[in-house]
Amino acid sequence: MEVHGQWLSFADLAEMLEQQSSRDALSSDFILNQLHALIRAPFGILEDYCKAYDKAGLTLCLWQKMQTTSWFQFTRIVRNAISHNFHFMYRPADRLPIAWNGITLSREMEGQPITYELWHKKGYELFLEMKAFAEALPEAPKAGAK
């Protein structure tokens, strides 16, 4: 398999997996990649969809509705952390601490990495909340439809 422009045989990968530090790094990278796919991308898609729907002048205020969900502010901060090398970077306007589903984000976490222990199951649960919100959204009108 090719990794960072180098070819590794599966024997080399197996050797890496046998070493605890390499195994931990590989599993951590895998989890962080999954967080990107489960949190950052869907959050951005939902944000774009809601803003575009509202900009089209349709009757619902979807962006405002998304901002009032129980998970929005928490997810926005996590999305930003995923976007900043998986480290928490807060804005002065962030109202912390903020909690969701038993996890609390606080000012003390500024600059700290998202950890595997924190996100083993919670990242997928957060994705499911965004998915439920998305499934309840109205469909965008087809182009040219009135």
Q: Give the model confidence (pLDDT) of 35-90 as tens digits.
A: 778 889 999 999 999 999 999 887 679 999 999 999 999 999 999 988 888 889 99
135 pLDDT higher than 90: yes
Return the percentage of the chain with pLDDT > 90, whole number: 40
| Residue 89 and residue 80 in contact, taking contact as beta carbons nearer than 8 Å | yes
Which pLDDT band, with edges at 50, 70 and 90, does 116 fall under? low
Q: Give me the amino acid identity at 85.
A: N
Least confident of 24-28, 34-38, 100-104: 24-28
What is the CA 73 to chain-centroid distance, rounded?
A: 12
Question: CA angle, corner 28, sides to 24 and 31, nearest 5?
Answer: 145
- The pLDDT of residue 114: 80
pTM, full prediction:
0.73
Residue predicted with more confidence, 137 or 10: 137
Q: Which backbone phi and psi does 137 adopt, to 5 degrees?
A: -75, 150
pLDDT category of residue 122 using cuts at 50, 70 and 90? confident
Backbone angles phi, psi at 105, to 5 degrees: -100, 130
Quick check: 66 and 53 in contact, CB under 8 A? no
Torsions phi, psi for 114 (to 5 deg): -70, 135
Cα–Cα distance for residue pair 72/78, rounded to 1 Å: 10
Higher per-residue confidence, 122 vs 29? 122
Is 115's pLDDT higher than 80? no
